[in-house]
Amino acid sequence: MKKIILGFIIGIFILSGVILLNKNRQDQDRYEEFTRINYKLENKNLKLLVADIPEEWQRGLMYFRKLEGVDGMIFIFPDKQQRTFWNKNTFMNLDILWIDGEKVVGKSYLPSIEKSKEIVTVKSSKPADKVIEIPAKK
């Protein structure tokens, strides 16, 4: 009986390890779907994933729990207008930087869906043609 229980426990550990490896592989695959750029903003050099097509704008940083090797994501739009972002399936608290040209025209805080327990939206106060999401320090 002890051998059966021990075998069961070992099996659970092995299965947990396989699940974690698969999740890490999925996270890495998510990174590879995006182009990366170096972007200078307010005297800071940022490494950012690029979202420059509608499918990437919609997905953004959904499902990411942490970022490795990059500082955040930049959304590049073809025009300037007021933008609205939400926290659906977003597991990190985010600082949102609204950008017009090369100038930050506003900042917002977007809590994770786990923190807010409901969908929260934030809207730029001025038109923006770029938006940067960076994991919040809060």
Tell me the pLDDT tens digit for each residue of 89-110.
999 999 999 999 989 999 999 9
Helix H segments across the chain?
Answer: 2-32, 54-59, 113-116
DSSP string, 68-106: SS--EEEEEEEEEE--EEE-TT--S-EEEEEEETTEEEE
Assess contact for 35 and 50: CB atoms under 8 A. yes
CA dist 29 and 25 (Å) reads 6
**Can you give the pLDDT at residue 64?**
92
pLDDT of residue 128 exceeding 90, the answer is: yes
pLDDT for the residue 33: 73
More confident residue, 79 or 15: 79
CA dist., res. 90 & res. 133, Å (int): 11
Instruction: Read off the pLDDT of residues 4-37 as tens digits, 9 standing for 90 and up.
Output: 765 556 656 565 544 544 554 454 445 567 889 9
